[in-house]
Structure 1
Amino acid sequence: MCEACGHKPQSYQGRRWCYDCKPGTNGRPLPCRRCGATGDYWAQRLCRRCHLFAPQLPDSCRDCLAWGATRTLKWLCGACVGWRHLHPSASECISCHRDVAVNEHKACRLCWLQTVYQAQAGLPRDVLAANRHGQQLWLANMSNFKNGYRPHPRRDYGRPKDQIQPPGYDSQPENAADQQTGARPPRDPEQLDLFAYDRIENPARRFGFGEPPSHRFAARLDQHVLDQAERHGWTERQTRRTRITLRVLQARHRIATGPVKASDVLELRTYGLPIRLALAVLEDNDLLVDDRVPALRPWFARQLSGLPEPMASELQTWFDVLHHGSTTPPRSRPRHDVTIKTRTLWAMPTLRAWADAGHLSLREITRADVLAVLPAQGTPRVKLGNALRSIFTTLKRHRVLFVNPMARMRIGNLERRVPMPIDTARIRGAFESADPTTAAITTLIAIHGLRPGEACALLLTEVRDSRILLPTRTILLAPVTKARLDAYLAHRRKRWPGSINPHFLIHSRSAATLEQVKVPWLTDKLGMSANALRQDRILAEVHAGGDLRQICDFFGVTIATAEHYASTINHPELDDFTTAPAGSRTDTPH
């Protein structure tokens, strides 16, 4: 290093000084060959910023100008890295006119942060107006509102004059005496807090909506969260974020007493706040009014766009009957959302074709029109036929149509697929997985043949005494499979020691509630279809020589299903498929 300053390396071999301290010469180092900088030279014609082994000194972020960025992220702060990932397109910002990554409002992250922190609640955000007088610079990686210890903004939201209130809010609440309950001692208005001293109130206050209108109701909700967290074994992070969510909810919508609308809670998703556990707390304490619109209704409305009005109204009647059911003659029960969505997707291409052909109403459709669009045979004929039959039969029963063109029309049955085996190496890899959850799921489905739905609904009390006690049958556990389930239970107790979820299989989201896991989660953990894995188990048992009665008893299937699997023996598509080792799957892998 240089003997004079001790901060920079020697200019070259054998010299005692760096270029800046070398006396008696006007020779200066060439500009950095990478970035072109003429100052802060380090070595090898590279400046301190570009040299691989130069000390990592912080500098300003290239995008938002926040101080504290390093070369590790290419002189970007962590927030700008995420901003570029969310908004990959780069164009000119409408405020600062820099060519950087912009959002849907054509604003860069620096200008958008200034807009967010100056916007009034309930009013549109104006990027140009908020950035007319410049921007507030930040410390890098400290501007996330989820961080309870970031520098305090330039407003003191503990003072009423700095609180952002929705339009029409009365600054003098009726329960002014309640406002003083638990009030904090006055602080010096000229002194700003650098770090938050309250992990709940300060992060909630920084959203800009001030204090809740009723401290008594806020304390009541806070206690409900703590009670539920202790009862369900929530983590510290889940508890803290749920408390912040409910506090922001009260301040945002000026809620002084219950009940709370679910739609008000859903609005908090735009601020990045978790709402699932907050809804559970309100619902369990009878403080929630569920005014949420089912996702199926707007989806069906989008499907009807472009159809003529008489036909759209008729289809809306069909949807209402299937979605809500009918309590007056002709009575019917509500259908599952998946059934309604599937039948709609099957029928929409044909309905749009009829609309394009000039048919304005389903009353104009004749039997000949239906026969013209129905495929000759196979599964496509059954799918379209079932969808059209549901529409025309329902409308005829409710006297919307005079004639049912699908009456006494045969459409056949769905073609059953030939079950195909799975490579044994994949199953063995899942069974011997280092993840106890994956090994336990493989044990339940691939070894003992549980349906994916049965595995999701399996309770802890149903696995005992080396048996799985299902409502329809009892399954004995082999020593190897019992060891897999015991390892999973040990993992569960260690990972979620306070969870009271009664189900055998849980994950990080269901551990805090009483809900069961879903089948897609099983497929994700297995790396293969859970239904296909069970079909492979039944297929292996059939090819191992199991009789139909034994298959029905062990897997809980009907005789028709067992015969369908038995029909695959010596099937031409399975002749070339090799599965090793041979034998029953009941003989667990060693």
Structure 2
Amino acid sequence: MPPPSFVQPALFHIPRTFRLCGTIRDLGRHADPQLAAWADQLTRRHAARCGWKPVVTRRVRFGVHAALALLKAPGAYLVPADIAPMTQLTDSVRHITTVLRQAGLLEGDRIPAVVTWVHKRIAPLPAPMAEEVRAWLTTMSEGRTDPPRRRPRAAGTIRNHLSWALPALIQWTAAGKTSLREITPHDVRTVRPPAGVHPTHMLTGLRCLFRILKDQHIVFTDPTHGMKVGAYPATIPLPLDTAHIRDALTSTDPAQAALCALIAFHALTPRQIQHLTLTDYDTAPHPRLTVDGRTISLTPPVADRLDTYLVHRHQKWPVTANPHLFINRTTAITTTAQVDNLWIGSRLGPRLTARALREDLLLHEAHATGGDLKHLTDLFGLSTNSALRYTSTVTHPGLDALQPDAPPGGRP
């Protein structure tokens, strides 16, 4: 049965070390037998769900027992600081932490990187203003259940909005402002963005900041109310160096070659790649892929690289229970979740990005069809406005080198 709900705080904090312990199995013998048996059942179920090998399951079971032996008092909970020193005994700490958290035996977590980043950036601000930004951060990262409700935002969204608004906060601090309650619409209109920051971006960040603080009654008025954000700066898609694309397509890494082929030939987005499952790929009567309800007929170069990757996937993780098409070391043996954008970017390499690859294909397709708007919307599922961004470059004088009869992206 799980531990009781009460917690007995420890009187003294003594740093732990396992350098003098024999093995993690010896340490686990001191765990409560009843609690260890209950945790064993959860470990075996999690191992079966994730497709762990027996040796991995056995190591994690011993590690969970050793972690239970670290409980400071009956009914206490573990914290990440208790588990971290176990790296001296085993390399399965990540799996042990996952099982303990699912069992409800591990409370607390490490401070998210975006929280540390925000606190570092707002350190030069006056104390009242910094406290107001921290209140905004709490709502952005955790959401709000009371009206007006808000969903938690991603770390990248938080970074972008604060990066855009922070130059204005620094300028107001230099002008003698100590709180955001003192900011007026005139202050917002006269603030100047630094080099590299568009005024539209700065106003977007300030509007997000003041709107949340106004909803929480931390500021009395929203000085950005009624101000038009305007249009974001338009960018022109540019072709990539075909040598970089060829290097990725001919890479000895099956994952890199398959990812590059899917994006460079069929313009898949990272989100679509993340959610692909094994059942979305079918080879009969011809290779095809189901993406967002659309059936895409795969070209031979893409099908060949995808088949090579699937063979590599089966050889490396033969018993994984993860149903997603693309997996890595973490998602194959720990969870059944999809890979993240960082993994996709790292596999493509430092000279390519998913966005640049996709834009390269759409740009060449627009020039090859003479700017046929309907062709782009039907073939790639683009909206009309998105397709116009590429068809409008057909008459651009700087892109005359893209010949209509050339293969898209110079691909083999």
Pairwise TM-score range, normalised by the shorter structure: 0.7 to 0.9
Aligned to 2:14: 122
Whether 1:563 and 2:358 are equivalent positions in the alignment is no
Aligned to 2:341: 519
**Contact 2:373–2:387 (8 Å) recurs in 1:** yes
Whether 1:474 and 2:295 are equivalent positions in the alignment is yes
Aligned to 1:390: 208
Q: Secondary structure at the match of 2:289?
A: strand
Q: Secondary structure at the match of 2:296?
A: strand
Alpha-carbon distance change, 262 to 355 in structure 1, aligned in 2, over 3 angstroms: same
Alpha-carbon distance change, 550 to 379 in structure 1, aligned in 2, over 3 angstroms: farther
Q: Once the 2 structures are TM-superposed, how far is the Cα of residue 559 of structure 1 from its aligned partner?
A: 0.6
Aligned to 2:308: 487
> 296-305 or 386-395, which moves further after superposition?
296-305
Whole-Å separation in 1 of the counterparts to 2:404 and 2:62? 56
2:33 alignment partner, one of 195, 215, 218: 215
Aligned to 2:108: 291
**Contact 2:136–2:212 (8 Å) recurs in 1:** yes
More helix per residue: 2
Whole-Å separation in 2 of the counterparts to 1:382 and 1:308? 26
Whole-Å separation in 2 of the counterparts to 1:568 and 1:301? 43
Alpha-carbon distance change, 236 to 320 in structure 1, aligned in 2, over 3 angstroms: same
- TM-score, with length taken from structure 2: 0.82
Whole-Å separation in 2 of the counterparts to 1:396 and 1:230? 49
Q: Secondary structure at the match of 2:198?
A: helix
Q: Secondary structure at the match of 1:403?
A: coil
Whole-Å separation in 2 of the counterparts to 1:384 and 1:402? 21
- For residues 374-424 of structure 1, the C-alpha deviation after alignment (integer angstroms, 9 at most, x for no partner) is 349995201111111122222233333233222222332211221111122
Whole-Å separation in 2 of the counterparts to 1:514 and 1:431? 28
Q: Once the 2 structures are TM-superposed, how far is the Cα of residue 231 of structure 1 from its aligned partner?
A: 4.4
Alpha-carbon distance change, 398 to 525 in structure 1, aligned in 2, over 3 angstroms: closer
Correspondence list, 1:444-455, <5 A:
444-455=262-273
Q: Structure 2: which amino acid aligns with 1:122?
A: I
Whole-Å separation in 1 of the counterparts to 2:166 and 2:290? 44
Q: Structure 1: which amino acid aligns with 2:356?
A: A
- For residues 434-459 of structure 1, the C-alpha deviation after alignment (integer angstroms, 9 at most, x for no partner) is 33222211221111111112112111
Answer 1 or 2: higher relative contact order, Cα 8 Å, separation at least 6. 2
Whole-Å separation in 1 of the counterparts to 2:403 and 2:58? 52
Aligned to 2:80: 263
Q: Once the 2 structures are TM-superposed, how far is the Cα of residue 294 of structure 1 from its aligned partner?
A: 4.5
Aligned to 2:169: 351
Correspondence list, 1:221-300, <5 A:
221-222=39-40, 224-235=42-53, 238-239=56-57, 241-254=59-72, 260-263=77-80, 266-268=83-85, 271=88, 273-284=91-102, 286-292=103-109, 294-295=111-112, 296-300=114-118
Based on CA coordinates, which of the two structures has the bigger radius of gyration? Answer: 1
Whole-Å separation in 2 of the counterparts to 1:453 and 1:492? 20
Q: Once the 2 structures are TM-superposed, how far is the Cα of residue 308 of structure 1 from its aligned partner?
A: 2.3
Show structure 2 runs of 5+ residues with no match: 1-11
- TM-score, with length taken from structure 1: 0.59
- For residues 36-84 of structure 1, the C-alpha deviation after alignment (integer angstroms, 9 at most, x for no partner) is xxxxxxxxxxxxxxxxxxxxxxxxxxxxxxxxxxxxxxxxxxxxxxxxx
CA RMSD of aligned residues (A): 3.3
Aligned to 1:416: 234
Q: Structure 1: which amino acid aligns with 2:198?
A: P
Alpha-carbon distance change, 397 to 391 in structure 1, aligned in 2, over 3 angstroms: same
Alpha-carbon distance change, 366 to 398 in structure 1, aligned in 2, over 3 angstroms: same
Q: Once the 2 structures are TM-superposed, how far is the Cα of residue 532 of structure 1 from its aligned partner?
A: 0.8
